[in-house]
Amino acid sequence: MKFGPSPFNYNFVIDIIAAKGLEALATFSISKYVHDAATLGYNHFEIGLDIFQTFPIPILREELEKLHQIKKELNISYSCHFPFLSLDFSGPNQFIREGSISAIIDIYNLLKDIESDIDCFVLHPTGETTTEILHYISDLEIKLFAVEMFKQNAIHSVNTFIAKTGINLRKLAIENLDFPLKPTLEIIKETQTRFCLDTAHLLGDSAENLDVCEVLRDNYDLISEIHLQEYNTNSQDSMSDHAALGTTCKITAEFFEVLNSRKFQGPLIFELEDHEIRESCEYIRKIYPAHQGLPHF
């Protein structure tokens, strides 16, 4: 199994600014963090791209060349998580959808030089506006209409992005969010893309009450990447709805047995803080001793 961190988030950047000042962002090195992760025993690294559009952090050609060399020398693989903050591929405003597509195209084009080194690009098909509207609607019939409208908007936006970039469909993975799973899977099938299964988002959807292992088995052939974490039940008081494995013990040994028996080749990404990743690794070692690929803290 391939395990990897995804450390590039707002807290990460804020910590850099607090420690070294805003000017430190001008010399930010992606490759340094990737190299450090590889030396810890990670065999995958997810590059979160939001910070490169919301902070003055450049993506330099020499940094991309270093990533290419690290991949060859340390046998580490990469995925990239497209920006999602303030973006919405599915919302009701046409101009925001078009702007969101342009934002994703812009960051994708910056990475063209190392596209062959990137196994997967993760994309959010819906955004905060869509989520807020659906939470606001109480009438079931109206909600079903809204879900269908947002689904069609997302399909159109994803297809537009594909047409304008020519991205390899096998590399584009749609992530499940706070949006019903069935229409999410319909977006994936309509656009002929792949599935990024986020276990926290699945566990947090109390309305659907889905079983993680069942979803994994039913959609295994579509899945190219897994975001591995539990749901933070106090997410309203936190910047993240993610929690360490073992918080509620909803991810069981059965989950890893399914992956192992099917010889899952994609990465399992921890979208967690360092201490939560350590807790998660200890939990995996405890419930599934047959694991392979965990970092050696």
Please state, in angstroms and rounded to a whole number, the distance separating the CA atoms of residues 139 and 146: 11
**Backbone φ/ψ region at 246: left (φ over 0), alpha (ψ -120 to 50), beta:** left
pLDDT value, residue 239:
52
Give the pLDDT of residue 207: 65
| Residue 107 burial by Cβ neighbours in a 10 Å radius (0-12, 13-18, 19+) | middle
Using 50, 70 and 90 to split pLDDT, how confident is the model at 206? low
Three-class secondary structure assignment of 142-161 = HHHHHHHHHHHHHHHHHHHH
**Is 212 in contact with 245 (CB distance < 8 Å)?**
no
Question: In whole angstroms, what is the distance from residue 19 CA to residue 4 CA?
Answer: 25
* Residue 201 to residue 199: CA distance in whole angstroms: 6
Q: Which two three-digit tokens encode residue 25?
A: 């962002």
Domain ranges of the chain: 2-287
Provide mean pLDDT across the span 158-185.
97
Q: What is the pTM for the complete model shown?
A: 0.94
The CATH H-level (homologous superfamily) assignment of domain 2-287 is Divalent-metal-dependent TIM barrel enzymes (3.20.20.150)
Q: Is the pLDDT of residue 214 over 70?
A: yes
Banded model confidence at residue 90, pLDDT cuts 50, 70, 90: very high
Which pLDDT tens digit goes with each residue over 9-20? 888 899 999 999
Residue 43: how many other CB atoms lie within 10 Å? 19
Model confidence band, residue 104 (pLDDT cutoffs 50, 70, 90):
very high
pLDDT, residue 236, reads 53
Best CA proximity match to 104, nearest among 159, 49, 46, 61 = 49
Q: Helix 61-74 and helix 30-39: axis angle, to 10°?
A: 10
β 172-175/267-270 pair status: unpaired
Alpha carbon distances (Å) from 129 to 60, 84, 139, 149, 252: 33, 12, 18, 13, 33
H-run or E-run covering 4: strand 2-5
Amino acid at 194: R
Residue in 41, 46, 75 with CA at minimum distance from that of residue 285: 41
Q: Give the model's pLDDT for residue 290.
A: 83
Give the Cβ contact number of residue 119 at 10 Å: 20
Beta-carbon contacts of residue 33 (< 8 Å; ≥ 6 apart): 7, 8, 45
pLDDT at 143: 95
User: What are the tens digits of pLDDT across the range 173-198?
Assistant: 999 999 999 999 999 999 999 999 99
Indicate whether 235 pLDDT > 70.
no
Across the chain, mean pLDDT equals 93
Q: How confident is the model at residue 228 (pLDDT cuts 50, 70, 90)?
A: very high
What is the number of alpha carbons within 13 Å of residue 289 lying toward its C-beta? 0
Give 245-271 pLDDT, tens digit per residue: 999 999 999 999 999 999 999 999 999
35-76 pLDDT, tens per residue?
A: 999 999 999 999 999 999 999 998 989 999 999 999 999 999
Q: How does residue 243 score in pLDDT terms, banded at 50, 70 and 90?
A: very high
Residue 293: what pLDDT?
Answer: 82
Q: Which residue has the higher pLDDT, 124 or 240?
A: 124
* Beta strands 194-198; 77-81: pairing state: unpaired
| % of the chain exceeding 90 in pLDDT | 86
